[in-house]
Chain A
Amino acid sequence: MAKVLMKGNEAIAEAAIRAGCVNYFAYPITPQSEVAEYLVKRLPEEGGVFLQGESEVAVGYMIFGAAAAGERVMTTSSSPGISLMSESISYIAAANCPAVFVNIVRGGPGLGGILPSQGDYFQATKGGGHGDYHLLVLAPDGVQEAVEMTMQAFTLAEKYRGPVMILGDGLIGQMMEPVEFPDNLKTEPSNKDDWATNGMDTRKSKKRNLVKSLFLNPTELNNNNLALKAKYDQMKREEIQFEAYNTDGDYKVLITSFGTMSRVCRTAIDLLKEEGIEVAMLRPKTVFPFPEKAVFDAATKESCKAVISIEMNMGQMVEDVERCVKGQRPVTFYGECGGDIPSPEKIIEIIKAMI
Chain B
Amino acid sequence: MTKRWIGASVVALTLLALPAFVQAQDSGAAETITDGEAARVQPIAFPHTIHAGVDQIDCQYCHFSAERSVDAGIPPVGTCFGCHQIIGGTDERQQAEIQKVRDYWANQEPIPWVRIYKVADHVHFPHMRHIAAQIDCATCHGNVEEMTVIEEVNQPLAMGWCVSCHVERGASRDCAVCHY
Q: Do A and B belong to a common assembly? A: no
Q: Which residues of A approach B to under 8 Å, CB–CB? A: none
